[in-house]
Amino acid sequence: MPGVSGRGLAALALLAGIGLLAVAAALAVGSVPITVTQLLAVLTGGGDPLHRELLLSLRLPRALAAFATGGLLSLAGALMQVLLRNPLADPYVLGLSGGAAVGALGAMLLGAATFGVSGAAFAGALLSTLVVFGLAQGVGGWTPTRLLLTGVVVAAGWSAVVTFLLTLSPADQLPGMLYWLMGDLSYARSPLAAWLVLAPALLVTLPLGRGLNVLARGPLQAAALGVAVRPLEITVYVLASLLTAVAVTTAGSVGFVGLVVPHMLRLLLGNDQRLILPASVLAGGALLTLADTLARTLLAPEQLPVGVITALLGVPTFLFLLYRSR
Amino acid sequence: MATLETRNLVIDIPGRADGRPLSLCLAPGQRWGILGPNGAGKTTLLHTLAGLHPPRAGRVYLDGAPLATLKRKAVARRLALVFQERQDGFPATVLETALIGRHPFLAPWQREGAEDLRLAREALAALAVDHLADRLVTTLSGGERQRVAIATALTQTPALWLADEPTNHLDLHHQVAVMRLLAGQARRGATVVMGLHDLNLAARWCDHLLLLFPDGQHCAGPAEVMLEPRALERLYGQPLTMTRVGGAPVFVPTPDPGDPVDHDR
């Protein structure tokens, strides 16, 4: 890949390998264990019909959806952290997940089907993005600080509406709603939309990497080094919002992945966005695939919300890396 | 070679009257010093000259073309700005920092090549920070960071230097080294413009001076004409005494009878 050093390529290859292993594990593990030989048989077009059905219509779509969602969230998080020049930024920091949650919960309350819930979540996410961007624009144009403050305040507003919706909801709907709020991949019927956004988004962001490295040093320094700052910032904002909206639509608001995966990679690989952006996609995808596999097998037949697992896996790993860092 | 020209330029400082519009030509080989008391607009002028701050009126021309119509990348290939304030938000190493000076010369997909790396390493060596190449910039002292910032601008190979207080945080030895470096750049045909608060550095190292008064007035010209003690006293609102060291004028604040003086020393 252009713009990435030999060491970077090795890291990307390693992460891609881990990603493949995570997907393979997601396919093999479950109520009916499937061995590697059986797995290969199905993937090459043969195998047991039960295994075929189980793999191709249940486990594979879910694993692919998990991978894409993890990739979307990590890429969005990495972009937001550079855009806002704030290490605490995550894909949800600008209130996007709150808007999506209000949409999704509202649709559930009205008894909408899965498709309706996804559509309402996406609409809510876009609405929230427009509201935050419009308000942060204000009279004098937006700055990262103003964008951040507007986002945090709008998110607080959404969270009040979410609580209100939860109190209104009948008891039998509450578990589904709480699962959605913590992130749940059992809603993910088709990974297609997520991949259709993730792949071109990654292609668009890769050539932006060096410009983002310069932008991370502040807008004036970036402009002095030849970066068209405002167009780049708007591209990154729109892109990160779209990625997050699609991720939230696919799996609810899975927390933690978007905040922590880019940071973990920065601690391990340095802070070159040309490497961090593609690495985030691979590492985020692998982490969420693994987490979802654990979420549906640890207490089987009960399923845990995947957000619980991402946090339980991510928190200690992250704290360890942070503790060890310079 | 690059020439920067201002025509009827009024820099935009909120709450300040327009003053007298500035029409100047900064030509290759010249070493300009911008002098003025705090708040006179040295930094704003440098940012305006770099096209980072829109002027209230008038225009800046880079090699005859209006700066505002040029692409940022085309400007950055000719003009480097050393900032007074720096923001090192995400940690990066010294070498990575110097290498971003090559950004305007690379296509989006292109990686820095051997030539870019050579330029960055030479620049770090010229500023005597090459031994820090793998250190994180955030772990350096103020003076070391300042030298890394100048090395980054040097890596940019600019024909036109705009340096805002280039000697900030530097001890005397490195002050002289940086001024020699900039003078060397001018000798090789670069246009060098420095915002300075140290009158003596300007007197020693600049061949042209621009005096900025807080009310928006200014005067500009060759250094030997501008280093007129009465004008400088008016500029800083401070009585000055001039002496000469090695032929170069040196200004010190005239002692006030009320100032503490240790006569036994």
Say if residues B182 and B30 touch (Cβ distance below 8 Å): no
> With an 8 Å Cβ cutoff, are B111 and A224 in contact?
no
Residue B56: Cβ-neighbour burial (10 angstroms; 0-12, 13-18, 19+): middle
> With an 8 Å Cβ cutoff, are A85 and B139 in contact?
no
| pLDDT band, very low/low/confident/very high, at A118 (cuts 50, 70, 90) | confident
pLDDT tens sequence across A78-107: 999 998 888 788 888 888 888 989 998 999
Helices (DSSP H) in chain A: which residue ranges? 6-28, 36-43, 49-53, 60-83, 96-109, 114-137, 144-168, 174-182, 192-205, 209-215, 219-224, 229-251, 257-269, 273-297, 306-324
* A228 chain-B contacts, CB cut-off 8 A: 71-73
CB–CB contacts below 8 A, A to B: 89
Residue A70: Cβ-neighbour burial (10 angstroms; 0-12, 13-18, 19+): buried
A134 touches chain B (CB under 8 A): no
User: Among the CATH numbers 3.40.50.10490, 2.40.110.10, 1.10.3470.10, 3.30.360.10, which is that of A62-324?
Assistant: 1.10.3470.10
Q: What is the ipTM of this complex?
A: 0.91
| Chain B positions touching chain A (beta carbons under 8 Å) | 47, 50-52, 71-77, 80-81, 83, 86-93, 96, 100-101, 103-104, 106, 108-111, 136, 139, 156
A62 touches chain B (CB under 8 A): no
> With an 8 Å Cβ cutoff, are B100 and A271 in contact?
no
Residue A326: closest CA among B100, B93, B133? B93
pLDDT tens sequence across A185-208: 876 777 888 999 999 999 999 999
Q: What does pTM read for this prediction?
A: 0.89
pLDDT tens sequence across B155-190: 999 999 999 999 999 999 999 999 999 999 999 999
Domain range list for chain B: 4-253
Say if residues B157 and B118 touch (Cβ distance below 8 Å): no
* A82 chain-B contacts, CB cut-off 8 A: 90
Decide: helix, strand or coil at residue A198: helix
Whether residue A2 is predicted with pLDDT greater than 60 in this model: the reply is no
Closest partner residue to A224 (CB to CB) among B81, B90, B136 is: B81
The pLDDT score that the predictor gives to residue A193 is 86
The pLDDT score that the predictor gives to residue B42 is 95
| Lowest mean per-residue pLDDT among A28-37, A127-136, A269-278, B91-100 | A28-37
Backbone phi, then psi, for B233, in 5-degree steps?
-60, -40
Sheet harboring B4-10: ordered strands across? B22-26, B4-10, B57-62, B65-66
A162: its two tokens? 């979410």
Whether residue B265 is predicted with pLDDT greater than 70 in this model: the reply is no
Total residue length of chain B? 265
A217 touches chain B (CB under 8 A): yes
Tell me the C-alpha to C-alpha distance, in Å, between residue B177 and each of A205, B29, B150, B251, B265.
41, 19, 11, 21, 32
Residue B237: Cβ-neighbour burial (10 angstroms; 0-12, 13-18, 19+): exposed
pLDDT tens sequence across A292-323: 999 988 887 888 888 888 888 888 888 887 78
Closest partner residue to B109 (CB to CB) among A207, A213, A217 is: A207
Distance from CA of A31 to the nearest CA of B (A): 45
> With an 8 Å Cβ cutoff, are B89 and A216 in contact?
yes
Mutation to test the A interface, candidates B43, B46, B109, B154, most A Cβ within 10 Å: B109
A307: its two tokens? 């957000």
Q: Any residues with CB less than 8 A from the CB of B248 and at least 6 apart, and which?
A: B203, B204
pLDDT tens sequence across A225-235: 999 998 999 89
A87 touches chain B (CB under 8 A): yes
Domain B4-253 = CATH 2.40.50.140: no
The pLDDT score that the predictor gives to residue A78 is 95
